[in-house]
């Protein structure tokens, strides 16, 4: 069975084994949730390098606090909540030291067969999206990333954010409104 084929009961067993000190079991949990954790952190931070550091810190923190997880079946949402908090903390720290920010590596990415003009347009769009995301509140950025980009349900996002589904709807709505205005020239 591959890691992608895990059933909820398998996750519970992996969490129990991890709590008992089985590092291999925790390694499997990491592999199962790494991609989703990276998408969340990158969505909040807009920078893949910073996101990778945040995800690594979140996994360490989760491992050290695993004994606090009361419902092993909710490991995924609990872990993503840890990632989200770490990402938001990093985002706040980066805002405080705005002049110390380094350019994001994901702005340098290019599609295969793409010419210089298209690559420049993509870089401009990525920079605009990163700037627009940085203007959202932490809750708006988290909600739009989890719901709009990561495809989680409003209920799942609400659990992760510790708020109601109505609050999630509001944060997503406000984020979309702001992004429409901030990215207007790219949406025409």
Domains of the chain, residue spans: 1-102, 115-188
What is residue 147's predicted lDDT score, i.e. its pLDDT?
81
What's residue 107's pLDDT? 42
Give the pLDDT confidence score for residue 185 in this predicted structure: 82
| Predicted pLDDT of residue 99 | 39
Q: Can you tell me which residue has the tokens 């709505």?
A: 173
Count of Cβ atoms closer than 10 Å to residue 156 Cβ: 18
What pLDDT does residue 3 have?
41
Q: Cβ-count burial of 107 within 10 angstroms (0-12 exposed, 13-18 middle, 19+ buried)?
A: middle
Which pLDDT score, from 0 to 100, does residue 160 have?
A: 80
Place of tokens 């380094």: 102
Whole-model pTM?
Answer: 0.57
The average confidence (pLDDT) of the chain is 81
Architecture of domain 115-188: Orthogonal Bundle (1.10)
> Which fold does the domain 1-102 belong to in CATH?
Rna Polymerase Sigma Factor; Chain: A (1.10.1740)
pLDDT of residue 55: 93
Give whole-number Cα distances, 158 to 89, 145, 172, in Å: 19, 13, 11
Residue ranges of the chain whose pLDDT lies below 50: 1-4, 99-109
């Amino acid at each position: 069975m591959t890691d992608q084929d895990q059933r909820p009961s398998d996750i519970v067993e992996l969490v129990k084994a991890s709590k008992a000190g089985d590092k291999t079991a925790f390694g499997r949990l990491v592999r199962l949730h790494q991609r989703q954790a990276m998408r969340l952190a990158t969505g909040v931070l807009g920078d893949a390098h910073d996101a990778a550091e945040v995800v690594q810190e979140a996994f360490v923190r989760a491992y050290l606090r695993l004994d606090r997880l009361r419902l092993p079946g909710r490991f995924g949402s609990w872990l993503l909540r840890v990632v989200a908090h770490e990402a938001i903390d990093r985002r706040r720290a980066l805002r405080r030291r705005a002049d110390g920010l380094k350019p994001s590596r994901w702005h340098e990415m290019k599609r295969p067969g793409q010419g210089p003009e298209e690559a420049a347009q993509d870089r401009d769009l990525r920079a605009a999206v990163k700037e627009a995301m940085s203007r959202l509140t932490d809750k708006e950025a988290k909600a739009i990333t989890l719901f709009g980009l990561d495809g989680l349900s409003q209920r799942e996002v609400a659990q992760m954010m510790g708020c109601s589904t109505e609050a999630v709807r509001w944060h997503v709505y406000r984020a979309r409104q702001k992004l429409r205005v901030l990215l207007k020239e790219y949406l025409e």
